[in-house]
Amino acid sequence: MSNILNKDAFILPEGVIYLDGNSLGPMPRAVAARVQTMLTDEWGEMLIRGWNTAGWMDQPIRVGNMVARIVGAPEGTVVMGDTLSIKVFQALASAVKLNPERRVILSDTGNFPSDLYMAEGLVGLLEQGYELRTVAPEDVVDAVDDSIAAVMLTEVDYRTGRKHDMKAVTKVVQAKGCVMIWDLAHSAGAVEVDLHGSNCEFAIGCTYKYLNGGPGAPAFIYVRPDLADHVQPALSGWLGHRQPFAFDLDYTPGAGIERMRVGTPPVIQLAALEVAMELWEGVDMSELRAESLKLQEQFIEEVERDVPQLVLASPCDTSIRGSQVSFRFKEGYAAMQALIDRGVIGDFRAPDIMRFGFTPLYLDAADISAAVAILADVMNNKLWDQDKYKVRSKVT
């Protein structure tokens, strides 16, 4: 058995095999009690005194340091807050200001749409000839030239799990004088990340996926330490001010990563995340990565053996795959609903991707075999071919 497996630390409903921790991690057992205490003993009893007495104001940096360890960032370089879409905007806005002579933001067509939408919004706001350029993921390196201000990529593709080589891409990008932003949404808690070693200027990510912070858990932003005192924050909220409680009429950015704070932190959500992050304290990320790949290889092998009608959409090469495996199937939406109905939870991404996430903290080899057996039953006996599985819900 792996040293990584820590099933008892999570609430996992009876009869469920959860292969969707890449989208929303399950609840760590300790969260409920911590949030309850936070509500009754802190908010309830302390009222506004909690900001100082219970350390609410320092929470975004304190929890940021816990996230920093998982992504290979030094202490004091990561801060929590807002949602990932907001952090994308913040990183992009600061990045283009570092390269004022250039007008292009480069990204790829494998990026999550919200990242591209936020870039479009920023470009619209900046005007002055700014544009967003997107190319196929495999063409990014060739598309980097000296018209580009910033390159923004998500390391692991949300649909296929294809993984960019962070260090190699960053090197090419910086050699052309562009600023590098990495989105770690499907990397933090999933693969080994060495932010410091990658030398990228900015990174962002969310915490409700592999980090198990709960629905709506705040995002994080990293700024390379040598730049943190120089970057210009576009979302200049009062909590990023050098002295919020001086209530100056003019904005002066705070020291270092503090300037990437915007407004009041989500204290209850951060309390949940802080407990969830404690589960990572003894976890060696290289060991976790090895276990994740073992589970993925087992899954692929068993699916290809027992369910040959599914077509692998993820790379075969494990060095360029994150912590998820996707298969294509035309009726993938219905098939996934039938699967979920039988306790195997994955998800579906248009147009035809059935997506499965691998999270060695609470999944083992027996879970994988059990999930494949149910998948084979659903597929080989066409159990998905029913009207009730074909009606699309709001969240797929």
Instruction: Report the sign of the C-alpha dihedral through residues 58, 59, 60, 63, in that order.
Output: positive
Is 111 or 292 the residue whose CB approaches ligand PLP more closely?
111
- Quote the least distance from Cβ 186 to ligand PLP, whole Å: 6
Burial class (CB in 10 A: 0-12, 13-18, 19+), 327: buried
* 8 DSSP 8-state letter: G
Distance of CA 117 to the CA centre of its chain: 17
Closest to ligand PLP by CB, 6 vs 114, is 114
The beta strands (E) that lie in the chain are given as 17-18, 78-81, 104-108, 131-135, 148-154, 179-183, 202-205, 219-223, 311-312, 324-328, 344-345, 347-349, 353-357
In this structure, what is the dihedral angle of CA atoms 83, 185, 181, 137, given to the nearest 10 degrees? Answer: -130
- The first and second tokens of residue 101, run together, are 């002579």
Q: How far is the CB of 387 from ligand PLP (least distance, A)?
A: 30
- Known catalytic residues? 112, 183, 208-209, 355
**Helix pair 84-97, 113-126: axis angle to 10 deg:** 40
Q: Which is nearer to ligand PLP, 28 or 322 (CB)?
A: 322
Smallest distance from the beta carbon of 263 to ligand PLP, in angstroms? 16
Shorter beta-carbon distance to ligand PLP: residue 185 or 193: 185
List CB contacts of 113: < 8 A, sequence separation 6 or more.
none
Whichever of 43 and 117 has its CB closer to ligand PLP, that residue is: 117
- Give the Å distances, CA to CA, from 82 to 12, 133, 218, 379: 28, 26, 5, 40
Chain residues binding ligand PLP by CB under 6 A are 83-85, 112, 114-115, 154, 158, 183, 185-186, 206, 219
Rounded to an integer, what distance in angstroms lies between the CA atom of residue 196 and that of residue 249? 36
Token couple for 5: 């497996």
CB of 390 to ligand PLP, least distance (A): 25
How far, rounded to the nearest angstrom, does the alpha carbon of residue 49 sit from its chain's CA centroid? 33
Contacts of 376 (CB under 8 A, 6+ apart): 306, 307
Contact indicator for 303, 372 with CB cutoff of 8 Å: yes
Nearer to ligand PLP, 158 or 329 (CB): 158
CB of 316 to ligand PLP, least distance (A): 23
Report in angstroms how near the CB of residue 251 gets to ligand PLP at its nearest: 24
Of residues 114 and 199, the one with the C-beta less far from ligand PLP? 114
Q: How many residues does the chain have?
A: 396
Least distance (Å) from ligand PLP to the CB of residue 266?
A: 12
Specify whether the CB–CB gap between 315 and 366 falls below 8 A. Answer: no
> What six digits make up the tokens of 366?
């027996």
